[in-house]
Amino acid sequence: MKIINILSNPLPRNLIPMGSRLELALRTLYHRLNATRPFVNARVRKAKSSYSVWKTSRPKLPVVSATPADGAVTFLLAVEAGKENDALETLRSLASLTQRGWRVIPVLAAGVKWDSVNDTLPDSRIFPPVREITGLRPMIEQLRTDYIVFCSAGDRFDPTLLDHFYLALGSHPAGDLYYFDCEYFNPVSGDSQPFFKPSSPSPELMLSLNYLTRAFIRSSHLAELDDRSIDKMNLQAVEYGICLDLLHRQALMHHIPAILARFDELTPDMNSAFDKVISRHLEKIINTPVTVSWSRGSRRVNWLTSEPSVSLVILNKDHGRLLRGLLESIAVITTYTNYSIVIVDNQSSEPEALRLLTELEHRPGTRVIHYDEPFNYSTAVNLGVANADGEVVVTLNNDMLVVEPGWLRELVQWAIRPEIGVVGGKLLHKNRSIQHTGIILGMNGFIGHLYLNAPEDYLGLAGSANWYRNFNALTGACQAFRREVFLKVGGYEPRFRLAFGDIDFCLRVTEAGFRNLYVPFAQLIHFEGSSRGYETPTPDIQLGYEVLKPWLEVDDGYFSPNLTYDTIPACEMNPGTLNTRVARIEERRRSVNARLSPSK
């Protein structure tokens, strides 16, 4: 562990020349040690154990003075038959809230025996129950409440829930929805596990689970509901539909970064009511039938496309064996048919590669573009796209292997959506550990891959590697985008010779108003480092610090301020670490510049 920490820090000036063979060897050693099972296991244990310490170290909230006029809150409590005792626990947690201005309406399913619950906990704030929802809108209008919280029997709320809410309401009074972090029972580990949520809206994450659940929703939005669509549906499904709609309409949302509730389950498995809500929501948007299925413990959504033309742009130099393996896996495994291949070859001299390129020159649907200049990754991508004729372009490194038949369809169905910019897939090392599930800005003192080297189906403090989710950036090893998006932002920046051009491209796409998306069901094997090693040119590092600085000086909105900026995040024990992280980034930037300056 100490060796890895040493290798991850900037080396002293003039000790080892940047860009030298020795530095590249040390960098390669760092990546390999970082991926060893003992190191990964240690990071996973650290992340898991950090939560119990974190819970006991939270600073106390300032005293909150509030009255019901600050925003009367109504909890709608769903109770299933046999869950009466669980409902009693929820009511007790509400009764322990340190603020007034709340009430609860139990919504009972058939067969619920409520009299015993009501006798056990008499409280005027517990309203008479209703047996089913046949008109949510008139109910809300009659209550004249300001905010609604949908909850279920068994939920336990923190006593400071309303304190946090009133503080958030005071600082962000225009919000339409206020949501918070939670913990839940993990049946695999047998203990409680937190879910630290992103602060920026993530519409596609909502397709995997309702990460906004139990939020404070401004009741005025419920007046716009079509009651016919919620008749006799369960409350959680009603809430799901409301939250999906608010995200689609880009309603103002505020994240309260605190664990304020505990649930028995985070994602009720195989809930057909939820699936119907999701499919109905998407069908209204894309105007085509949508199927919702389950894969690797997560929801997967698919819809029919007309198979728009796709160009696979593959960058290559030598390594004929790797390139042949990739092309064969594409041809044999991929079920999507309307694609062509553009290979941008950079002065290959290896005999095996030359033989393969000669074969490809005569293969239908394949073009070989000879790039006879010193290699520049960004220029090569731009050249490949310029010679591609597909409506959708997918960039691939030559050290990849297709392992999932629907990988291309998965990427394309999202890339053709007008609101989506860049789509990235789930990339795995050859041992099936994670290589890429999205990029966090500021991680590891610059940028980093979330859950790097963790197990394939890792469920960490930031959620599951098998969930859809939005990111600011995705690796160029596998990016799908519409040609029009690429041209609109001017393609890749050639000043980035080898590294960070993909990050810069994604950020400019974000700035242009598109959402970038990680899809876990487009899986490929990535033999990272097999083609060009782990070289990171120093000028790229310098330029990266310069160009990405505005992004690095703030928290990444698709990450949580409660987590450390490590690839396998643990709980952050020191509040207000942004300044510390920015100072670390600046220190590393100065170190790079100093090592490049001529010695005096």
Last residue of a domain, one of 267, 301, 335: 301
| Token pair for 192 | 């409680």
Mean pLDDT highest for which of 59-73, 98-112, 218-232? 98-112
Does 54 reside within a domain?
no
Contact status, residue 327 vs residue 401, Cβ threshold 8 Å: no
Does 470 reside within a domain?
yes
- 316 and 199 in one domain? no
Give the residue-averaged pLDDT of 529-556: 83
Q: Which candidate, 216, 240, 4, places its Cα nearest to that of 97?
A: 216
* Dihedral sign computed on CA atoms, order 79, 81, 86, 87: positive
Residue 8 in this model has a pLDDT that exceeds 70: no
**What is the distance between the alpha carbons of residues 337 and 292, in angstroms, rounded to a whole number?**
23
Q: Give per-residue pLDDT as tens, 190-236.
A: 788 999 999 999 999 999 999 999 999 998 877 666 554 554 568 88
- 287 and 315 in one domain? no
Tokens 């030598």, residue located: 318
- 198 and 148 in one domain? yes
Secondary structure (3-state) at 1: coil
**What is the distance between the alpha carbons of residues 107 and 129, in angstroms, rounded to a whole number?**
6
What contacts 130, CB < 8 A, 6 or more positions away? Answer: 105, 106, 107, 108, 139
Does 394 reside within a domain?
yes
Structure pTM?
Answer: 0.92
Residue 430 in this model has a pLDDT that exceeds 60: yes
- 356 and 259 in one domain? no
Position 583 scores a pLDDT of: 82
- 587 and 514 in one domain? yes
- 480 burial level (CB within 10 Å; 0-12, 13-18, 19+): buried
Q: What is the CATH number of the domain that holds 367?
A: 3.90.550.10
**What is the distance between the alpha carbons of residues 583 and 445, in angstroms, rounded to a whole number?**
9
Mean pLDDT highest for which of 61-70, 113-122, 466-475? 466-475
Does 57 reside within a domain?
no
Question: Among 95-99, 188-192, 416-420, which is the least confidently predicted range?
Answer: 188-192
Residues 481, 482, 484, CA angle at the centre, nearest 5°?
A: 130
**Taking the CB of residue 561, how many other CB atoms lie within 10 A of it?**
16
What contacts 3, CB < 8 A, 6 or more positions away? Answer: 33
Position 507 scores a pLDDT of: 98
Q: Chain centroid to CA 487: how far?
A: 26
DSSP-assigned states of every residue in 463-479 = EETTS-EEESB--TTEE
How far is the first Cα of the chain from the last one, in angstroms, to the nearest whole number?
Answer: 35
| Token pair for 98 | 């340190």
- 81 and 37 in one domain? no
Q: How confident is the model at residue 252 (pLDDT cuts 50, 70, 90)?
A: very high
191 to 58, 264, 552: CA distances (angstroms) = 20, 11, 35
- 338 burial level (CB within 10 Å; 0-12, 13-18, 19+): middle
What contacts 177, CB < 8 A, 6 or more positions away? Answer: 212, 215, 216, 217, 218, 243, 246, 251, 252, 253, 254
Tokens 């990546």, residue located: 31
Mean pLDDT of the chain: 88
**Taking the CB of residue 485, how many other CB atoms lie within 10 A of it?**
20
Q: Which residues pair with 129 in a beta bridge?
A: none
Q: What is the dihedral of CA 384, 387, 390, 396, to 10 degrees?
A: -20
Give the residue-averaged pLDDT of 126-134: 80
Give the residue-averaged pLDDT of 460-482: 97
The domain of 531 spans 305-595
| Token pair for 510 | 């974000």
- 577 and 532 in one domain? yes
Q: Specify the higher pLDDT residue, 26 or 294.
A: 294
121 to 41, 94, 95, 111: CA distances (angstroms) = 46, 11, 9, 20
Position 509 scores a pLDDT of: 98
Contact status, residue 238 vs residue 78, Cβ threshold 8 Å: no
Question: Among 91-100, 174-183, 348-357, 576-585, which is the least confidently predicted range?
Answer: 576-585
Residue 318 in this model has a pLDDT that exceeds 80: yes
Contact status, residue 173 vs residue 434, Cβ threshold 8 Å: no
- 325 and 287 in one domain? no
Secondary structure (3-state) at 389: coil
* Dihedral sign computed on CA atoms, order 145, 147, 153, 156: negative
Q: Chain centroid to CA 506: how far?
A: 15
Considering just the CA atoms, what is the radius of gyration of the chain in Å?
26
Contact status, residue 427 vs residue 477, Cβ threshold 8 Å: yes
Q: How confident is the model at residue 5 (pLDDT cuts 50, 70, 90)?
A: very low
Q: At what angle do helices 351-361 and 320-333 cross, to 10 degrees?
A: 40
Does 58 reside within a domain?
no
- 588 and 511 in one domain? yes
Residue 269 in this model has a pLDDT that exceeds 80: no
User: What share of the chain has pLDDT > 90, as a percent?
Assistant: 68
- 286 and 385 in one domain? no
Q: Phi and psi dihedrals of 306, rounded to 5? A: -85, 15
Residue 297 in this model has a pLDDT that exceeds 90: no
> Which of left, alpha, beta for 125 (phi over 0: left; psi -120 to 50: alpha)?
alpha
Contact status, residue 287 vs residue 230, Cβ threshold 8 Å: no
Beta-carbon-side half-sphere exposure of residue 531 (alpha carbons within 13 Å): 26
**What is the distance between the alpha carbons of residues 265 and 388, in angstroms, rounded to a whole number?**
47
Q: Give per-residue pLDDT as tens, 352-377.
A: 999 999 999 999 999 999 999 999 99
Q: How, if at all, do strands 253-263 and 177-186 pair?
A: parallel
Q: Which candidate, 319, 476, 324, 328, places its Cα nearest to that of 393?
A: 476
Tokens 């990988």, residue located: 407
SS (H, E, C) 71-132: CCEEEEEEECCCCHHHHHHHHHHHHCCCCCCEEEEEEECCCCCCHHHHHHCCCCCECCCECC
Last residue of a domain, one of 279, 301, 323: 301
If one counts the domains in the chain, the total is: 3
Position 585 scores a pLDDT of: 81
Does 62 reside within a domain?
no
Does 587 reside within a domain?
yes
**What is the distance between the alpha carbons of residues 96 and 92, in angstroms, rounded to a whole number?**
6
Does 171 reside within a domain?
yes
- 273 and 419 in one domain? no
- 25 and 100 in one domain? no
